[in-house]
């Protein structure tokens, strides 16, 4: 009788852990803000970032993307980098582009970033979310 009770308790514990562990290990999204100035269409320099791994003076480079209105953006930091795609095919007058980064190398391994791009003229702003982990 005791062994049956232990078996039920162990089985219930395993079932509970199977449900809780995936949600506990899911990455939480954190607010992201960055502003930058650009010396050309292919090179921008971060002026401020609230994400420590992308400090002031970090360079962001751009290259033509796979289709019209898409541009590759690469952020290179000490001990890592990440490349994403910026989609300039946005309908609104305020949000000019949406950039998405899915992973990186070094200290930006499993780094994900999704931002809206806006400007006030000389300055460009990225506002959105970042997280570390396997996906969305």
Cα–Cα distance between 94 and 28 in angstroms, integer?
27
Mean pLDDT of 33-59: 97
Buried/exposed code over 28-63 (b: 16+ C-beta within 10 A; e: otherwise): eeeebebbbeeeeeeebebeebebebbeeebebebe
pLDDT at 91: 87
Local structure of residue 121 (DSSP, 8 states): S
CA dist list (Å): 82 to 7, 13, 41, 78, 107? 48, 40, 19, 12, 10
Mean pLDDT of the chain: 84
Q: Are 72 and 64 in contact (CB under 8 A)?
A: yes
Q: What pLDDT, on a 0 to 100 scale, did the predictor assign at position 90?
A: 94
**Alpha helices by DSSP H, the chain:** 2-25
For residue 121, the tally of other CB atoms under 10 A from its CB is: 5
- Mean pLDDT over residues 38-55, rounded? 96
Where residue 26 falls among pLDDT bands split at 50, 70, 90? low
């Amino acid at each position: 009788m005791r062994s049956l009770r232990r078996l039920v308790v162990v089985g219930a514990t395993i079932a509970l852990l199977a449900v809780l562990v995936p949600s506990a290990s899911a990455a939480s999204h954190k607010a992201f803000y960055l502003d930058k100035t650009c010396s050309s269409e292919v090179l921008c320099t971060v002026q401020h970032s609230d994400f420590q791994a992308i400090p002031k003076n970090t360079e962001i480079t751009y290259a033509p993307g796979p289709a019209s209105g898409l541009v590759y953006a690469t952020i290179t930091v000490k001990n890592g980098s990440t490349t994403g795609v910026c989609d300039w095919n946005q309908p609104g007058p305020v949000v000019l582009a949406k950039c998405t980064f899915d992973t990186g190398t070094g200290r930006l391994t499993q780094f994900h970033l999704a931002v809206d791009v806006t400007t006030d003229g000389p300055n460009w702003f990225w506002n959105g979310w970042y997280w570390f982990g396997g996906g969305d």
